[in-house]
Amino acid sequence: MAHVFEQSTINGMTLNNRLVRSATWEGMCTADGRPTDKLIKCYRDLAQGEVGLIISGYTFVRPEGKQFPGKMGIHTDEFAPEMRALTKAVHDEGGKICIQLVHCGGQTDSATAGRQPLAPSSVKVEQFPEEPAELTRDEIRDIAAAFKEGARRAKAWGFDAVQLHGAHGYLINQFLSPLSNRRTDEYGGNIENRCRFLFEVYRNIREAVGDGYPVLIKLNATDNLAGGLVVDDAMYAAKRLSEAGIDAIEISTGTPASGEQSPARTKIDSPEKEAYNLEPAGRIREVVSCPLMVVGGFRSYEVVEKGIRDYGLDYISMARPFIREPDLARRWKKGDTSPAKCISCNSCFGPGLKEGGIYCVVEAKERNKKS
């Protein structure tokens, strides 16, 4: 039986435990998307804290696919020195780092993107700041090619793996969701057509990195929205990805428009409120043979163990707990298995906009009281 602190391998990438730092937005890059020393330190701290795999913040493959300030980019070869410094810092501490590739599509805005946002259809859904322009076939091919170039750079710069962001209302998820994809051509309609862009991106990336390099995806099991992606369609996409050779699938749910069922839920103050994506992950587990990760409200070591033991999950992902405690994995490994100190207030994201980088506001207040 698998357990939390054992070694495992994903397509040649050896991980020292089954804990994954799930991607988030750190707000620690320059205006054009270069990683800063602050971001490098953030990832170094996670590696020192012995998390099994670090997945980077969501990294835009083209400038018009950027969403927030301080977001990392991988759209140009010019970032090579900073990116190599980042991967080296993680590797020097014995860690492994996977870069998450994204195009935010209709979930960005004209001011940030520098043009009218692009999406599968010109339709204003709740999570879009404004009405986007419908992508042409040529633009779809160009964006798929940008994912390929991003993956090529990632491998050359020392990242141990790449992950596609196919969740949380971003472009791949926008194509998968009938709520945001109203197209009547080969990219819209039934779930097979709505998967077309995803598989074009995946094939492009495989061409760039080869079969022996880990390619992962973060996939919504459901959008938790009326008219959005549902579990049965996600199961179809996951099964096809597994058959096509995807190396791991990380399951999430929700979009910014999903209310109390959004990706980063608040008030997780008891084990019963944790692991809110276990049920849909269990359904996807039934149809895939590749390794499966799940993110969503894990705080207690016992609940992490249960996900691996009872649900057949290969890895457990967390984001906010590692903002509060980058050394959480090491603490648990040493025997202090008390719950993560994160109180799920989401206040950590505010400083990303105002101060050039996320951090745990609650911990900072506690520290200031003691000093």
Please give the backbone phi and psi of residue 182, each rounded to the nearest 5 degrees, phi first.
-110, 20
DSSP H or E run through 8:
strand 8-10
Burial of residue 310 (number of CB atoms within 10 Å: 0-12, 13-18, 19+): exposed
Quick check: helix, strand or coil at residue 163?
A: strand
Structural contact between residues 237 and 198, judged by C-beta atoms closer than 8 angstroms = yes
Position 213 scores a pLDDT of 98
Q: Give whole-number Cα distances, 107 to 23, 167, 329, in Å.
A: 17, 12, 33
The radius of gyration of the chain's CA atoms, rounded to the nearest angstrom, is 19
Residues 6+ apart with CB under 8 A from 33: 59, 60, 63, 66, 71, 72, 73, 74, 75, 79
Structural contact between residues 56 and 72, judged by C-beta atoms closer than 8 angstroms = yes
Please give the backbone phi and psi of residue 27, each rounded to the nearest 5 degrees, phi first.
70, 30
Give me the tens of pLDDT residue by residue for the chain, a chain 371 residues long. 578 999 999 999 999 999 999 999 999 999 999 999 999 999 999 999 999 999 999 999 999 999 999 999 999 999 999 999 999 999 999 999 999 999 999 999 999 999 999 999 999 999 999 999 999 999 999 999 999 999 999 999 999 999 999 999 999 999 999 999 999 999 999 999 999 999 999 999 999 999 999 999 999 999 999 999 999 999 999 999 999 999 999 999 999 999 999 999 999 999 999 999 999 999 999 999 999 999 999 999 999 999 999 999 999 999 999 999 999 999 999 999 999 999 999 999 998 888 889 999 999 888 887 76
Residues 6+ apart with CB under 8 A from 341: 321, 324, 325, 363
Structure tokens at 116: 């009218």
Q: Which residues are catalytic?
A: 170
Structure tokens at 248: 């791991």
Fold of 8-370: TIM Barrel (3.20.20)
Structure tokens at 135: 């992508």
CA distance 47 to 51: 6
